[in-house]
């Protein structure tokens, strides 16, 4: 693991996120910044995939983003992992772009296998893809990412019950526990209780990543999660993150869930994240 490079990439992805949402004065920086380390670690150190994209993804690990509003981090990480040219990040949320506000297969963007945005649907899709792999005798893993607020959607609990009951053990679903949603803290809006215990009660193996913005901790624990696949239980990872991580005035608040920085705020945020690998 080249930690220097991963750190540089993480900072560069943060810059991409901030510049993308600033440019169109819309989008979701808070959750994107909170999941930057996870997305970088997943695509650089954990997943086995080809950037020669095929929808079926035979014999490669697959990733599904369920909380599609954090598309800025997805697009930046996909581009900087080689799925498409980083210059295309400049088209985010603009007319005739493949980088729609929420991810879609409709414009055939490499790296995206399902549309997401309407919340709570990604876990079911990930389960289906995992079942397809089993039928194809494909031993690779399906990863998914979900917001904690998103877990209020009922379909998740149908899916959690299914995967536990039917022992879908080639699936690692990660929940971004940043404790925030649009209207406030998850505790205030609709308290989720102990999500890890709830997954366990539905028959899942649960791991926590307490330092969910620490690259080394993420890689270490996700490798442990991967080692637990194939043992008759789906795996849930509780990723404890700070929303808005890496930009001091965006941290620990839901205020930047779906709001773009103005020119001055962007300058401040970028100064905290100096250019490393080159802006798009």
Count of CB atoms situated within 10 Å of the CB of 25: 11
The upper half-sphere exposure of residue 266, i.e. CA atoms within 13 Å in the direction of its Cβ, equals 16
The 127-156 contact track toward another protein, x by CB under 8 A, reads xxxxxxx-xx-x---------------xx-
Candidate residues 57, 147, 149, 244; the one interacting with another protein per rule CB under 8 A: 57
Could you say whether residue 232 binds another protein (CB under 8 A)? no
The interface with another protein within residues 201-220 (CB under 8 A) comprises none
The interface with another protein within residues 167-206 (CB under 8 A) comprises none
Residue 154 and residue 175: Cα distance in Å, rounded?
15
Task: Annotate 164-191 with DSSP letters as a single string.
Answer: HHTT--SEEEEEEE--EETTEEHHHHH-
Could you say whether residue 274 binds another protein (CB under 8 A)? no
Least separation in angstroms between CB 114 and another protein: 5
Q: Which is nearer to another protein, 28 or 221 (CB)?
A: 28
Residue 244 and residue 216: Cα distance in Å, rounded?
19
Could you say whether residue 255 binds another protein (CB under 8 A)? no
Q: Which is nearer to another protein, 163 or 225 (CB)?
A: 163
Sequence-distant (6+) residues with CB within 8 A of 54 are none
Exposed / middle / buried, residue 220 (Cβ in 10 Å: 0-12, 13-18, 19+): middle
Using CB under 8 A, list all residues that contact another protein: 55-58, 62, 64, 104-106, 113-118, 121-133, 135-136, 138, 154-155, 158-159, 161-162, 165-166
């Amino acid at each position: 693991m080249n930690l220097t490079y991963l750190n540089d990439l993480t900072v560069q992805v943060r810059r991409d996120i901030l510049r993308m949402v600033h440019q169109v004065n819309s989008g979701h920086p808070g959750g994107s910044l909170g999941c930057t380390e996870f997305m970088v670690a997943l695509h650089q150190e954990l997943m086995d995939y080809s950037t020669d994209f095929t929808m079926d993804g035979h014999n490669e690990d697959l990733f599904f983003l369920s909380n599609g509003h954090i598309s800025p981090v997805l697009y930046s990480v996909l581009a900087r992992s080689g799925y498409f040219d980083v210059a295309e990040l400049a088209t985010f949320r603009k007319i005739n772009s493949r980088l729609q506000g929420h991810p879609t297969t409709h414009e055939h963007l490499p790296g995206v296998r399902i549309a997401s945005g309407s919340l709570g649907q990604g876990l079911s899709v990930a389960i289906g893809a995992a079942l397809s792999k089993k039928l194809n005798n494909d031993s690779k893993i399906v990863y998914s990412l979900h917001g904690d607020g998103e877990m209020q959607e009922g379909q998740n609990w149908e899916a959690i019950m299914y995967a536990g009951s039917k022992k879908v053990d080639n699936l690692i679903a990660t929940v971004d526990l940043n404790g925030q949603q649009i209207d406030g803290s998850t505790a205030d809006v609709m308290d989720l209780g102990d999500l890890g215990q709830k997954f366990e009660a539905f028959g899942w193996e649960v791991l926590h990543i307490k330092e969910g913005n620490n690259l080394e901790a993420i890689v270490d624990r996700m490798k442990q999660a991967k080692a637990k696949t194939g043992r008759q239980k789906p795996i849930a990872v509780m990723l404890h993150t700070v929303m808005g991580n890496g930009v001091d005035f965006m941290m620990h608040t839901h205020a930047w869930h779906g709001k773009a920085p103005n020119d001055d705020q962007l300058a401040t945020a970028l100064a905290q994240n100096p250019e490393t690998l080159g802006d798009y």
